[in-house]
Amino acid sequence: MSPPGFDPSSLPYYDPEIDRRVAFITGGNSGIGWYTVLELFLHGYVVYIAGRSKNRVLKSIKEIRERAATIRESYTDEERETRFLGEVFFLEADLLNLKSVTAAVDTFKSVENYLNILVNNAGVMALPYAMTEDGFEIQMQTNYVAPFLLTTRLLSHLENTTHLFPPSDPPRIVYVSSIGHQFAFYYFNMNSTFNYFPNIIFTWFRYGLAKTAGIHFMKMLALRNPSVLCMSVHPGFVMNTNLFSYWTRLPIIGIMFWCFFQVFGYFFGVSVPDGANATVKCCLDPNLSLEKDNGKYYAVDGVESTPSKIASNMDYAARTWIWTVHSLSERNISIDC
């Protein structure tokens, strides 16, 4: 259930021909990302969906436009005069390849001069142990290192936005985290890969470490770049997204996991649209400000919450930042662009 008074339609709408606002989102072609894009599009934003598969993203864009057209049909005449659709575009980016990430940034910068909202939404969960071609554990790169690189490379465009829009409407970065960050119950060495048997247990440590690192990132950015509003969100237990596809496809045990997810989701889960509420609110709520909300963590439906002690520790956050910069530097990748 949404909190009393929270309704995406109550958030500001913009006319892209008068007040052109730009959003960039990873993984916006499915799950909560799809609904986040839909709301941004309905509120007049020009949205770039970064993804690996052009066909899948273009199919999602078609579906989003069709859903938005249906929603517009339900508007009153007065609402149609004040609510305008934005635009949606595909941008090729593969988070498993850091060269692809930097190429996507270069492509975006070639067509846009500023950026209002960046949503680091794409992620993977509880996968078998594997290393990427860049030399990072797959969950660490997808859930943290790639978003770190993408964000730092886009900071100049986010900061450009501060000169074009009112001070009360700062550019925003939203990192989609997870309650699963709690699996990092101790500040593990960032080089830890937990490549131990059984994977069914240690994969969650890898996931928790990556998601904790993402929260650290938002807290450090809030300190280093006080003109950009940085937030982490936990969307809730969204049980029917493709995050669980690996587990449910396993022979025999997959049926057990499927049954468990169905039962758990029935009692504790939230729908995909409700799961997107936290992200949408952090993207569009005009009541969020640099002074009181920068670096904060929000839970289901955008309700302010507190992450784990490990994720909240600023000394650990600084160590995570230093490790990331050094790790990228070892690969001849600079974040200062």
Contact 218, 282 (CB under 8 A): no
Concerning whether 281 is annotated as a catalytic residue, the answer is no
H or E stretch at 309 = helix 309-312
Concerning whether 62 is annotated as a catalytic residue, the answer is no
3-state DSSP of 8-39: HHHCCCCCCCCCCEEEEEECCCCHHHHHHHHH
H or E stretch at 46 = strand 45-51
Which is the catalytic residue, given 14, 45, 144, 177?
A: 177
CA-CA distance, 294 to 172, in Å (whole number)? 9
Which is the catalytic residue, given 207, 297, 298, 316?
A: 207
Concerning whether 312 is annotated as a catalytic residue, the answer is no
Farthest-apart Cα atoms in the chain, separation: 61
CA-CA distance, 277 to 41, in Å (whole number)? 15
Pairs from 246-253 (Cβ < 8 Å, separation ≥ 24): 246/126, 246/127, 246/128, 247/126
Which is the catalytic residue, given 35, 211, 219, 297?
A: 211
Active site residues: 177, 207, 211
